[in-house]
């Protein structure tokens, strides 16, 4: 996906090009794409409220290309022709000026806060958007109702297949490898169902703390920042039925069906969710303060730094299997994986011992490694079973996550983009949990930075 060497010309217009997202992720990702596809030509136009001279903008783009390790004729061409326009992107006249500067109908990337993105979308109304694609960063709304309103607005601008709700998790080789691992292996695909699987975990635990993100994170928290968007999308890929082909329509339809079948465990947000917040501790020799003492944090908000949500996919394949989604900061170990834990064997012959550990299939989304935990006869007593792990390296893509994302946006292939209805389905699951938390029906527990999390684990 997105790694073939094509000869094509397109325009990328980044609104909010002076911000951190553009410099740290978007432009390095674009550089990676252009390095792998040297025949591609991209006219890059940046825009924002800040003012840059031509030299300052060129230096900014060049540094981003260097950060992404980019090189080659396509990168040289981009650097030679990129421009920056100072503009108020919430005004229609200013946006028309930007569109007029584009050599091709552009892909407009909103690297902006959600409120400004909404205003910019309003300002696009009435402009000629024939062939224009719109790429938006999460969060897609702040609840189901606002996500629906945003979708309705976008539908008045361009068709749904030209709206790219970006989730870079879906642009990683780790997530794309889920599809290959599940559906290309006869010994795996028939076992991934409620007859054989006891539980599924989708985990993104990290040792990093707040890292200066208080302005956004303190108003979002782990549930909205990670589970509402990223991990529910990963669940859809992990639980979906096999598509006829890896095409946008097939994949997105089946993801939507999986999410529509998903319900909170026991239909009760109090039973289905847990939350925690880190206190002072040490991680790999690095001291972290309590979250409430981090710069920019408002303790009165009660923001969680670890969230856990258990859901059930109520269809023929998965009904009765708990899917637990978890993400936390300042934990003792990084863990980024999908883990399918299998049920115990129906019968183990007498005299065989040592089979307490379950069989488990793990797909690591960061190291791109697959592992399978099995029980085998080990050395020594032949009646004693040892637990072993078989590992295999999964294919690493040529592009960084944002390179994959931008390939889809520039090529008009929305397979890795979040469709509007699935964005609303994710909020359907999260809204009642947020309401229960706001009422104090789920306690905010504490865990020490560097630990494995609150005591429920």
Whose structure tokens read 């109520």? 314
In terms of DSSP H, where are the helices of 223-279?
232-239, 248-260, 269-272
State the CB neighbour count (10 A cutoff) for residue 157: 18
In terms of DSSP H, where are the helices of 166-291?
173-183, 214-222, 232-239, 248-260, 269-272
Identify the three-state secondary structure at position 146: helix
In terms of DSSP H, where are the helices of 223-326?
232-239, 248-260, 269-272
Whose structure tokens read 């592992």? 371
Whole-number Å distance between alpha carbons of 52 and 232: 39
Q: Which H or E element spans position 60?
A: helix 54-67
Phi, psi dihedrals of residue 400, rounded to the nearest 5°:
-70, 165
| DSSP states along 21-58 | HIIIIIHHHHHHHHHH-TTEEEEEEEEESS---HHHHH
Q: Report, as residue numbers or ranges, the catalytic residues.
A: 230
Nearest to 66 by CA among 78, 54, 55, 48: 78
Whole-number Å distance between alpha carbons of 203 and 219: 22
């Amino acid at each position: 996906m997105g790694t073939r060497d094509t000869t094509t010309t397109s325009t990328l217009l980044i609104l909010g090009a002076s911000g951190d997202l553009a410099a740290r992720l978007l432009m390095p990702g674009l550089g990676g794409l252009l390095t792998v596809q040297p025949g591609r030509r991209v006219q890059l136009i940046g825009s924002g409220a800040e003012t840059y001279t031509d030299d300052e903008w060129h230096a900014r783009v060049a540094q981003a290309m260097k950060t992404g390790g980019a090189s080659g004729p396509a990168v040289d061409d981009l650097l030679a022709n990129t421009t920056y326009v100072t503009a108020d992107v919430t005004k229609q006249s200013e946006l028309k000026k930007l569109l007029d500067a584009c050599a091709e109908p552009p892909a407009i990337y909103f690297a902006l806060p959600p409120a400004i993105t909404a205003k910019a979308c309003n300002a696009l109304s009435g402009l000629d958007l024939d062939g224009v694609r719109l790429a938006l960063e999460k969060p897609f709304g702040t609840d189901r109702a606002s996500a629906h309103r945003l979708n309705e607005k976008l539908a008045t601008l361009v068709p749904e297949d030209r709206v790219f709700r970006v989730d870079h998790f879906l642009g990683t080789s780790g997530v794309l490898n889920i599809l290959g691992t599940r559906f290309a292996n006869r010994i795996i695909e028939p076992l991934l169902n409620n007859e054989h699987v006891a539980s599924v975990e989708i985990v993104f635990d990290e040792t990093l703390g707040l890292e200066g993100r208080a302005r956004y994170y303190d108003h979002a928290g782990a549930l909205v920042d990670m589970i509402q968007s990223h991990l529910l999308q990963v669940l859809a890929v992990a639980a979906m039925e096999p598509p006829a082909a890896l095409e946008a329509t097939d994949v997105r339809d089946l993801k939507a069906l999986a999410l529509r079948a998903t319900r909170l465990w026991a239909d009760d947000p109090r039973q289905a969710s847990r939350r925690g917040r880190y206190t002072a501790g040490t991680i790999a020799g690095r001291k972290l303060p309590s979250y409430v003492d981090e710069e920019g944090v408002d303790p009165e908000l009660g923001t969680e730094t670890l969230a856990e949500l258990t859901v059930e996919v109520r269809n023929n394949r998965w009904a009765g299997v708990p899917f637990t989604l978890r993400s936390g900061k300042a934990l003792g170990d990084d863990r980024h994986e999908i883990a399918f834990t299998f049920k115990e064997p129906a019968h183990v012959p007498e005299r065989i011992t040592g089979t307490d550990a379950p069989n488990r299939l793990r797909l690591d989304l960061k190291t791109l490694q697959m592992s399978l935990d099995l029980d085998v006869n080990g050395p020594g007593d032949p009646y004693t079973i040892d637990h072993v792990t078989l590992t295999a390296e999964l294919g690493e893509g040529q592009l960084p996550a944002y390179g994959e994302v931008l390939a889809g946006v520039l090529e008009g292939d929305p397979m890795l983009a979040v469709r509007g209805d699935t964005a609303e389905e994710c909020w359907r699951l999260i809204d009642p949990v947020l309401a229960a938390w706001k009422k104090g029906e789920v306690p905010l527990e504490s865990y020490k930075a560097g630990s494995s999390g609150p005591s429920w684990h």
